[in-house]
Structure 1
Amino acid sequence: MANQYLTLSQRFSFDAAHSLAREIETESSQGLHGQTYHAEVSVHGPIDPRTGMVADVALLRAQIEVVRKQLDDRLLDEVAGLGIPTLENLCLFIAQALSSLRPSQIRVWREAAGDECCLRFDTRP
């Protein structure tokens, strides 16, 4: 059988407050306001014949929990290393925090607003 590559994903959510300086929708953005964020971390690769896994999902969950605790119930404007609390920067922050897992994709979205950002990495063998 040809090389088989699979993608394993884990989702999590966090609630946080932030403010943004925008050119439009300024009243709702500039003031401090809260959001529920959802995120998905994906890793891609071959199945390890020794373990039968692309990655150990328990390890993935444990490392995600460390990142989630940095973001949940926080003022994102004050999270060290995040920068301006945009969806784009949240993707980059999560990717950096989980870099040892070599994620193939990070998605962050706000269901209520319908906004989403996706960071994809080249995972070609």
Structure 2
Amino acid sequence: MQLTISQRFFFDAAHTLQRTLEAEGSRRIHGHTYHAEVSVTGPRDPATGMVLDLGLLRQRLETVRLQLDHHLLDEVPQLDRPTLENLCLFIAHQLTDLQPPVSQVRVWRESLGDACTLKLTTA
């Protein structure tokens, strides 16, 4: 039996983006409040009753959050272009050693109504 647990966090950050639509505003430094949710899927450990201790997941997400919160995302190492897609990939990459592994990362901007979801397959 597989169970999925998740934890959310948010961060405020600025960025620029080179694009053809909404180009003028995107080129200027501007900021957003981003929300992220990380899910982990796996079996329940009979000894603890947990898939993964949510306290451990919160600790790991705090280290990721600190790399993004109140930063210019253009300058975050390993992020590449600061798109929702790349934020999902960045967050997943920071957690590759979690066991059970991350099964999904979702990043969204509530104020704009946009989101990206990365679904990771587990073997």
TM-score past 0.5 threshold: yes
Structure 1 stretches of 4+ moved >2 Å: none
CA distance in 2, matches of 1:114, 1:123: 29
* 1:86 aligns with one of 83, 90, 102: 83
1:1-125 → structure 2 map (5 Å cutoff): 4-101=1-98, 102-123=101-122
Instruction: Report the secondary structure of 2:12's partner residue.
Output: strand
Q: Give 5+ residue unaligned stretches, structure 2.
A: none
CA distance in 1, matches of 2:47, 2:107: 32
Percent same amino acid among aligned pairs? 62
Please tell me the root mean square deviation across aligned C-alpha atoms, in Å.
0.8
Instruction: Report the secondary structure of 1:70's partner residue.
Output: helix
Q: Give 5+ residue unaligned stretches, structure 1.
A: none
CA distance in 2, matches of 1:82, 1:122: 22
Shift of 1:28: 1.6
CA deviations 1:81-105 (Å, max 9, x no partner) are 1000000000000000011121000
Q: TM-score, normalized by length of structure 1?
A: 0.94
Q: TM-score, normalized by length of structure 2?
A: 0.96
